Structure 1
Amino acid sequence: MIKQSLQLKLSQQLTLTPQLQMAIRLLQLPVLDLQAELREALEKNLMLEMDDGLELAPPKGEQQRSTENAREGQEAAPEQASGDDFREDLPYADVPDYTTGYSSGSRDDGDEQRDYADASGTSLREHLMAQLDVALPEGDRKAIATMIVDAIDDDGYLQESLEEICANLEPELHTDIDEVERVLACVQRFDPLGIGARDLCECLLLQLSPFAPDTPGLDLARRLAAECLVELGEQDYAAIRRRLGCDPEELETAVALLRSLSPRPGSAADSRPPEYIVPDVFIRRVEETWQVEINPAIAPRLRVNAAYAGSLGRSGEYSTLRSQLQEARWLVKSLEIRNETLLRVARAIVAHQQDFLERGEQGMRPLVLREIAEALELHESTVSRATTGKYMHTPRGVFEFRYFFSSQVSGSDGESVSSTAIRARIRKLIADEDPAKPLSDSALTRILVGEGIEVARRTVAKYRESMGFPSSNERRRVAIR
């Protein structure tokens, strides 16, 4: 027989209060989501108002401020190469550029080059449909051309076969493949050239079609596009010369002509506004120290409306307004906690990664979330939320907080080396290598070991592949003789 009894037991458990849940949610929100959350709160909660007349910064204001701070960071950064150093000189400057539908106006040598984003928001489809309305204003051909335009992807390639396009037009329109082929030829003359191609070969041939017949290397460039794209991608110039029977000078001219074309013509006509990254904190060098500041444009000060809060009194009426008052106080407090946590985490990262700010990627030190959590006496999950989707503006660029966290590799002197620093060193070694005798993974490993970085060959291979560098055999450039 079961005997019933009463027992007293003392226990503790962690409960997430509504205020704590709000603080956690605000901490993990990126900038744009945070601003949307605050705008919604200001619209719904009568007890909230902006402090000192501050308003949430509009997107244009954020972009302008971000641009100004980026310019200040470039001035404070070490010497950087100008845009002219990266300009690729093509052998035929008089050949028009058919890879874009826009022309760049001339400017004086003393004028500063400025790039202004097209805010019209015109997509590739809208760009093609505007030309279609002029070329084929009405009739069956316009319906066929509209179906073709709908089948073109963002890169400008036709993703459906002609048979599928004919089937999609049924039963409203009866047509045949020959008619669709003729309409496709009309669409392929639209701007930008190369649009509507079914593969890379056809795309390049369409872009070569407007060139004058006496253009140097034109005939050989067409043969390269039609017959030797695989060998050209592998840079197997010896096999190309044997197959096409051409000399090195002719091949070099044809290859340069092909490199002036665009393999993705659709991207040139897509003028949708880009998405800008708004930094959460700014890092500046003040005398001999690094100063960390919260971006005021994304962290407006909110406050409780004192007039409304004082009018409630102590009576039990107006329960809805009292609930809004409590939520408003929680939101203001949670926003303060968020800004304080971001600032503390950013300062701890900067204190740990000063060598990166002064020397670049090769000065990056190994760092994990646990180290920041222990230094700030926070939980590791809190640091994880504070570093996800958050960005800092430094003199070396805008980086996500997570960028400064990397694994470590033991060094010969007992000090650990960051994997980011190792990648930067491998990148520099490959950039400085002899193109005719590229460094193998074993050679890279020996160099790193000689510099005191104990790293395995398979680790070097993994880092090299993650940075997009091919193997030494693929990097070897065959001299064109």
Structure 2
Amino acid sequence: MNLAPRLDLRQSQSLVMTPQLQQAIRLLALSNLEVEGVIAEEIEKNPLLETAAPEGDLPVAPEPSPFERDEPAGADELVMAGAGAGEAALDADLTTSAFDDSPSDLMGSGAAGVLDGSLGLTGASAPGAGGSDGGEMPDLDLLAGAPATLAEHLLAQAGAVLADIDLFVAAHLIDQIDEAGYLRVPLLEVATRLGVPLATAERVLATIQSFEPTGVGARDLAECLTLQAREADRYDPAMARLLDHLDLLARGELGRLKRLCGVDDEDMADMIRELRGYDPKPGCRFGGEPAQAVVPDVFVARLGGGAGADVGGGWAVEINAATLPRVLVDRRYYAELSAAPGDRALDKAGRAWLSDCLASANWLVKALDQRQRTIVKVAAEIVAQQEGFFLRGVSHLRPLTLRMVADAVGLHESTVSRVTSNKYLSCARGLFELKYFFTSAIQAADGGEAVSAQAVKAAIRTLIAGEGAGILSDDTLVELLNAQGFGIARRTVAKYREALGIGSSVQRRRARTLAGA
């Protein structure tokens, strides 16, 4: 056996995670609005990138020009240069850093597609980035002043009535009040921390509790409701006893409460109605973040029929190009800089920097184009798999997993997961997150085709909504669901009911009793 050192030449394949490839993979998991922010950052860094309003047909990814003969422009050239490969590169499993897919991952469908009657994708070509950033109206939300937070609202009132050490203590107490309006820190702890007498802290807190909104600064629910009852001049001895025994009210023990308060049925019902008019979280009126509208990333429309049409037509699946600016590579500016004469000519470092900018700009445009094609391809397969939902509603959702979609479109499961993250689909039935269509399977009671967990949840919600005077227990729900063909256990019914935010039969019966009081 020869143990002498020697040189061997071996050939192997490996995936090189270049910064461009990492960026392209990251773009898959971003929503359209997040991608818009990434594009804005890239435009600031790269002078060869620009945005433009759409004119006529949307442009396709740019072809190599004579000025980039020395640069890898196409997907094949990027592979040879070690930068990755089109969608195959985007479809890499980062956990194994190896190619998991075949060349069939490279697709010819565009960013807007149509599903025909047999649910086959017949795509039309579309751009690497669509939409417009020109001619936009000013954002009116930005013109409106930010609403005052709860702390700002309370500090303004404290500054008008307090001074010196009291104002200092008030500012500290206000800082400890949570967003619901409650003081969660013991008053003795605050007084010790600030080095002031407990009586001073109590006096200042009493002043804060007189501020608007009524009930702010309370240390528990009973004190919050007490402050509001005093403000409404309804704090009599009977109401005081009721507020001291809110636990009995929560359990629905109205008979015991009536004896403790010394009132009859009519007075008890009147006090409960009064309590329902109070705000248990007065601080929530202030400082909340403005509600952000969800912008769909994909549009799905029925061709040749409405949402309830079972025959005729197909499905149009289109990316929401309105939320993405068109990204263009300014090749004229690149040519001017490259051919600048005399003193304006770039040195070696400048030419290298300019070439990097061009390669980066080309890669971004191609990555955006590939991202949109991948999103539409996956969305089209989801529509094909869940056509029953789009035609007849949630009760016809089918069990669907990421692997099922990945196998159907020839992608890796991790790629489908990135594509469906943080993205929404708009159709005639509403706005849904793409993850909504992936549900676990529930075996049918008669041994037939499995049903979706979302369909079971919808059936539970419908049964409880129509239960009428007789409250349905979980055992009864199991019997009714089995009669509908759902093979489901009692513990599963309880789990789905809790996931829907629906209380148990005891809780629903108690709530109905209180509502009728």
- Residue 176 (structure 2) pairs with residue 158 (structure 1): no
CA change 1:321–1:218 in 2 (3 A) is farther
Indicate the residue corresponding to 1:270 in structure 2: 287
- Residue 41 (structure 2) pairs with residue 40 (structure 1): yes
**Is the CA contact (8 Å cut-off) linking 1:31 and 1:280 kept in structure 2?**
yes
Q: 1:351 aligns with which of 375, 384, 402?
A: 384
Indicate the residue corresponding to 1:327 in structure 2: 360
- Residue 468 (structure 2) pairs with residue 434 (structure 1): yes
After TM superposition, give the deviation of residue 60 of structure 1 in Å: 6.8
State the distance in 2 between where 1:442 and 1:299 align.
51
State the distance in 1 between where 2:322 and 2:486 align.
43
Q: Structure 1 counterpart of 2:472, which letter? A: L
Indicate the residue corresponding to 1:122 in structure 2: 148
Indicate the residue corresponding to 2:103 in structure 1: none
Indicate the residue corresponding to 2:488 in structure 1: 455
1:79-135 CA-to-partner distances (Å, cap 9, x unmatched) read: xxxxxxxxxxxxxxxxxxxxxxxxxxxxxxxxxxxxxx9752321111111212222
Q: Structure 2 counterpart of 1:339, which letter? A: Q
CA change 1:58–1:250 in 2 (3 A) is farther
Indicate the residue corresponding to 1:363 in structure 2: 396
Q: 1:55 aligns with which of 122, 133, 150?
A: 133
- The 5 A counterparts of 1:100-115 are none
- The 5 A counterparts of 1:60-459 are 120-136=146-162, 138-170=163-195, 175-213=196-234, 220-227=238-245, 229-288=246-305, 289-313=314-338, 318-411=351-444, 412-435=446-469, 437-459=470-492
CA change 1:19–1:182 in 2 (3 A) is closer
SS at match of 1:318: helix
State the distance in 2 between where 1:62 and 1:421 align.
40
1:47-104 CA-to-partner distances (Å, cap 9, x unmatched) read: 101133732898975989xxxxxxxxxxxxxxxxxxxxxxxxxxxxxxxxxxxxxxxx
**Is the CA contact (8 Å cut-off) linking 2:180 and 2:281 kept in structure 1?**
yes
Q: Structure 1 counterpart of 2:167, which letter? A: K
Q: Structure 2 counterpart of 1:37, which letter? A: V
**Is the CA contact (8 Å cut-off) linking 2:296 and 2:425 kept in structure 1?**
yes
After TM superposition, give the deviation of residue 388 of structure 1 in Å: 0.8
Q: Structure 2 counterpart of 1:241, which letter? A: K
State the distance in 2 between where 1:42 and 1:178 align.
60
After TM superposition, give the deviation of residue 331 of structure 1 in Å: 0.4
Q: Structure 1 counterpart of 2:154, which letter? A: L
State the distance in 2 between where 1:147 and 1:17 align.
51
SS at match of 1:333: helix
State the distance in 2 between where 1:303 and 1:241 align.
75
State the distance in 2 between where 1:118 and 1:189 align.
30
1:150-193 CA-to-partner distances (Å, cap 9, x unmatched) read: 110111001222212212323xxxx3111221111111111111
State the distance in 1 between where 2:218 and 2:294 align.
34
Q: Structure 2 counterpart of 1:23, which letter? A: A
CA change 1:283–1:225 in 2 (3 A) is farther
SS at match of 2:318: strand
After TM superposition, give the deviation of residue 17 of structure 1 in Å: 4.5
CA change 1:118–1:368 in 2 (3 A) is farther
Indicate the residue corresponding to 1:94 in structure 2: none
1:251-291 CA-to-partner distances (Å, cap 9, x unmatched) read: 22211111111111100122542333222122334432443
Q: Structure 2 counterpart of 1:405, which letter? A: F
- Residue 501 (structure 2) pairs with residue 468 (structure 1): yes
State the distance in 2 between where 1:388 and 1:154 align.
30
Q: Structure 2 counterpart of 1:39, which letter? A: A
**Is the CA contact (8 Å cut-off) linking 1:203 and 1:263 kept in structure 2?**
yes
CA change 1:372–1:56 in 2 (3 A) is farther
CA change 1:127–1:354 in 2 (3 A) is farther
After TM superposition, give the deviation of residue 322 of structure 1 in Å: 0.9
CA change 1:57–1:163 in 2 (3 A) is farther
Residues paired across the two proteins, number: 419
**Is the CA contact (8 Å cut-off) linking 1:63 and 1:276 kept in structure 2?**
no
1:399-424 CA-to-partner distances (Å, cap 9, x unmatched) read: 21111111011112511110011011
SS at match of 2:416: helix
Contiguous gaps of at least 5 residues in structure 2: 55-131, 306-313, 340-345
* Percent pairwise identity: 40
**Is the CA contact (8 Å cut-off) linking 1:281 and 1:295 kept in structure 2?**
yes
**Is the CA contact (8 Å cut-off) linking 1:35 and 1:56 kept in structure 2?**
no
CA change 1:345–1:278 in 2 (3 A) is same
State the distance in 1 between where 2:300 and 2:253 align.
47
**Is the CA contact (8 Å cut-off) linking 1:373 and 1:383 kept in structure 2?**
yes
Indicate the residue corresponding to 1:86 in structure 2: none
**Is the CA contact (8 Å cut-off) linking 2:497 and 2:503 kept in structure 1?**
yes
Determine which structure has more spread, i.e. the larger CA radius of gyration: 2
Q: Structure 1 counterpart of 2:24, which letter? A: A
Indicate the residue corresponding to 1:105 in structure 2: none
TM superposition score normalised by structure 2: 0.75
**Is the CA contact (8 Å cut-off) linking 1:62 and 1:278 kept in structure 2?**
no
CA change 1:218–1:370 in 2 (3 A) is farther
RMSD value over aligned CA atoms? 2.8
Indicate the residue corresponding to 2:309 in structure 1: none
Q: Structure 1 counterpart of 2:329, which letter? A: V
